[in-house]
């Protein structure tokens, strides 16, 4: 038996090296599809229901009819993890428009493609949680909400890729994208939070940011801990002068930001509120009640 990881494609399992889709798939040709990144910790798929609900919301927004029920999609994720005997893994759930012709008309794609990948991921630099990461405001603005909005977790991530290219070229760990009016939207794949005078601010998703599942956990933790959290526009000036700042995301979890465009945030170290939330978040992911058991 192959020792390769197995990948689920449309109800069948293929070794990683043989897991392929057609070059005529509109997910490949046009980025026409949706996806989710999900974490599994010690046999518990964290917030699986919430991720699958968001996947179906994104699909609905682009008029993509997923050929599985939510229950069937949940079973596909769990079964793929079981077959691969995975623990502490990263799951990539993809639904593309499917195979069509070289035109972009979705009506030419009779059947969406469903893919479940279970593997590992590491997107943090070194000991990022202990020291914080460096960031910069990218020239790449977030697409507006009446275009390919990042409220939809679509396969078209070129907007984020271009910002990441700039961050790489400038030698910083991550980029922060602004929305059309110049306020903070989000990172290339993360939600942004700042702390000022003991209170937390985060941008509205109405500016084009994705409604993050990890961000929602942070919101619930703030309510539990009695920390005031306000959804409001954040200007670059406000970010430069924050006491603390941090990113949240499924792969990244919670990571402190120590610098933006060479301006030190606070004292340049993870702040007390950020560290408290990181510790509390760890308790959340360790609680089996917050996920789906394999």
Partner residues linked to 229 by β-bridges: 200
Give the dihedral of Cα atoms 292, 72, 119, 27; nearest 10 deg.
Answer: -140
CB 171 within 8 A of CB 188: no
* Active site amino acids: 153
CB atoms within 10 A of CB 255: 25
Instruction: Say how far apart CA 184 and CA 203 lie, in whole Å.
Output: 7
Q: Is 14 exposed, middle or buried (0-12, 13-18, 19+ CB in 10 A)?
A: middle
CB atoms within 10 A of CB 175: 23
CB-based contacts of 192, cutoff 8 Å, min separation 6: 176, 184, 185, 186, 202, 203, 234, 239, 245, 246, 247
Instruction: Say how far apart CA 257 and CA 131 lie, in whole Å.
Output: 9
Buried b (16+ CB within 10 A) or exposed e, 53-92: ebbbebbeebebebebeeeebbebbbebbeebebeebbbe
């Amino acid at each position: 038996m192959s020792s390769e990881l197995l990948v689920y494609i449309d109800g069948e399992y293929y070794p990683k090296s043989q897991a392929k889709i057609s070059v005529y798939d509109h997910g490949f040709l046009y980025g026409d599809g949706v996806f989710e990144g999900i974490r599994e910790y010690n046999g518990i798929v964290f917030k699986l229901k919430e991720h699958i609900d968001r996947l179906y919301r994104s699909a609905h927004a682009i008029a993509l009819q997923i050929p599985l029920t939510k229950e069937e999609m949940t079973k596909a994720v769990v079964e793929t993890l079981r077959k691969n005997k995975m623990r502490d893994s990263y799951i990539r759930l993809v639904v593309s428009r499917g195979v069509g012709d070289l035109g972009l008309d979705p009506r030419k794609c009779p059947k969406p493609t469903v893919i479940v990948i279970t593997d590992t991921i590491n997107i943090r630099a070194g000991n990022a949680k202990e020291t914080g990461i460096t960031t910069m405001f990218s020239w790449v603005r977030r697409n507006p909400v009446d275009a390919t909005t990042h409220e939809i977790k679509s396969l078209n991530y070129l907007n984020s890729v271009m910002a990441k290219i700039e961050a790489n070229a400038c030698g910083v760990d991550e980029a922060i994208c602004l929305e059309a009016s110049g306020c903070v939207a989000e990172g290339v794949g993360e939600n942004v939070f700042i702390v000022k005078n003991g209170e937390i601010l985060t941008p509205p998703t109405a500016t084009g940011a994705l409604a993050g599942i990890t961000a929602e956990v942070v919101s619930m933790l703030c309510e539990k801990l009695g920390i005031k959290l306000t959804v409001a526009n954040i200007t670059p000036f406000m970010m430069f002068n924050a006491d603390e700042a941090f990113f949240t995301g499924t792969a990244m979890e919670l990571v402190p930001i120590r610098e933006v465009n060479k301006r030190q945030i606070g004292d340049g170290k993870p702040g007390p509120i950020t560290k408290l939330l990181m510790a509390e978040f760890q308790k959340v992911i360790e609680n089996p009640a917050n996920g789906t058991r394999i």
